[in-house]
């Protein structure tokens, strides 16, 4: 019996709780200027699947315009400023997208998303979690269909231009 290569066409939405991912990376790297390298993370998460949406939710008003521009230029992604935490806006968007995509990847290790994961799976959506394993709630990993660990290979230390100039 010969099995030919099977082409799987899935559409994926990636919803990132920016504050959670940033805190997790800062905790692991011991540096507050460490950031996710989306150029390595996104292809790894997609694994040749099609990207439908990439939305980066972040609490606060000081959101990097360079990050927003980069996500838009490379992935047609967007950044959403949240009044408080990203939990509710991310959950609403995930529910809205559940009928439009095959898989939703939530970039967060926050156990607050367990009920959302259960709901989405009940709607027939594959739910994957991408987060720093050491700071991810075990129950979230257990409830997800798949867990993608975000490791030190997936982040970089950001140095603002001109910071290293001697003067």
The pLDDT tens digits for 136-148 are 999 999 999 999 9
Domain of 40, CATH number, reads 3.40.50.1010
In a domain, 83, yes or no: yes
Contact call for residues 21 and 108 (beta carbons, < 8 A): yes
In a domain, 137, yes or no: yes
pLDDT at 3: 62
In a domain, 39, yes or no: yes
How confident is the model over 145-161, as a mean pLDDT?
A: 89
Residue 17 has pLDDT above 80, yes or no: yes
Task: For residue 16, give the 3-state DSSP assignment.
Answer: strand
Give the residue, 118 or 3, on which the prediction is more confident: 118
In a domain, 162, yes or no: no
In a domain, 166, yes or no: no
In a domain, 65, yes or no: yes
pLDDT at 65: 83
pTM for this predicted structure: 0.89
Give the residue, 164 or 157, on which the prediction is more confident: 157
In a domain, 123, yes or no: yes
Residue 103 has pLDDT above 80, yes or no: yes
Number of structural domains found in the chain? 1
Q: Tell me the two tokens of residue 151.
A: 């490791």
Range of the domain at 140: 25-157
Tell me what the pLDDT averaged over the chain comes to.
90
In a domain, 38, yes or no: yes
φ, ψ at 42 (rounded to 5°): -60, -50
């Amino acid at each position: 019996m010969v099995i030919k290569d099977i082409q799987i066409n899935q559409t994926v939405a990636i919803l990132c709780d920016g504050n959670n991912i940033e805190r997790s990376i800062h905790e692991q790297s011991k540096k507050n200027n460490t950031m996710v390298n989306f150029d390595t993370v996104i292809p790894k998460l997609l694994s040749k699947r099609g990207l439908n949406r990439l939305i980066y939710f972040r609490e606060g008003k000081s959101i990097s315009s360079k990050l927003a521009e980069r996500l838009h230029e490379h992935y047609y992604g967007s950044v959403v400023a949240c009044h408080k935490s990203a939990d509710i806006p991310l959950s609403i968007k995930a529910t809205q997208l559940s009928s439009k995509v095959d898989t939703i990847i939530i970039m967060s290790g926050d156990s607050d998303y367990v009920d959302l994961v259960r709901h989405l799976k009940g709607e027939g959506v594959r739910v994957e979690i991408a987060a720093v394993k050491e700071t991810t709630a075990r129950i979230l990993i257990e409830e997800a269909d798949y867990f993608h660990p975000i490791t030190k290979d997936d982040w970089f230390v950001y140095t603002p231009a001109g910071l290293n100039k001697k003067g």
